[in-house]
Structure 1
Amino acid sequence: MIRLSVLYPAKEGQTFDLEYYKNTHMPLAGKLLEPVRYEVDKGLSGGAPGSPAPFVAGCHFYFESLEHYRARTSVHGATLRADMVNYTTIEPILQISEIV
């Protein structure tokens, strides 16, 4: 199983519309990428009590294989990147992981 994590770092002066992200962008991404499942995270705090969250939000897509992920993002990645202007000014951090 492959997981794509997309994380949006908390940065002063940057914007992030969580409602648009979870209600519009992520359903579109789910339809286009066809993952096994996906999750949306809202950052609450860092590891220490009272510390700010390092990320305002993020998501995790789960795919059966790296090939499926690559095939779907090669076709639909540009569409999803173009939609980013509708919910954020933050450049995300992406990581592809193998679930072991």
Structure 2
Amino acid sequence: MTVSLQIIYPASADATFDYDYYEETHLPLVEEHLGELMETVEASRGIASGPDMPPAYLLIATITFPDMETLDRAMGEKSGPVIDDVANFTNVQPQILVGQVLMS
């Protein structure tokens, strides 16, 4: 069963997010440390939450893994440098959602 890890960065009035750093430095770091375990990685920058509505989320990243065991391994032994890097591009505490992929 393919599982997904979604990292969700909520928007707020005082939120900061360096998208260039995220794309040029953080995503390659994710690939370096988790690449052998991941199936896919995708990041979407929030642009709106509806007509004439600002985005509720700055960014949502989705990483898929072949199974829960692989996700657990990635989060256990491999994720330290990736998690430590978050403070370099945002002051937002991300939310996490682990899910079962129903369709891809």
1:71 corresponding residue in structure 2: 73
Q: Retained in 2: the 8 A contact 1:45–1:52?
A: yes
Q: How many correspondences in the alignment?
A: 99
2:46 corresponding residue in structure 1: 43
- TM-score, with structure 2 as normaliser: 0.89
Tell me how far 1:27 sits from its aligned partner.
1.5
- RMSD of equivalent CA atoms: 1.0
Q: Which amino acid aligns with 1:37?
A: T
Q: Deviations along 1:12-61, whole A, 9 cap, x unmatched?
A: 11210011111211121122112111001100100x30111100112100
Instruction: List alignment gaps of at least 5 residues for structure 1.
Output: none
Instruction: List alignment gaps of at least 5 residues for structure 2.
Output: none
3-state SS of 1:8 partner: strand
Q: Which amino acid aligns with 2:43?
A: V
Structure-2 separation of matches of 1:81 and 1:12: 23
User: Identity rate of aligned residues, in percent?
Assistant: 24
Q: Which amino acid aligns with 1:39?
A: E
Structure-1 separation of matches of 2:99 and 2:23: 22
Q: Does 1:3 align with 2:9?
A: no
3-state SS of 1:14 partner: coil
Structure-1 separation of matches of 2:51 and 2:11: 17
4+ residue runs over 3 A deviation: none
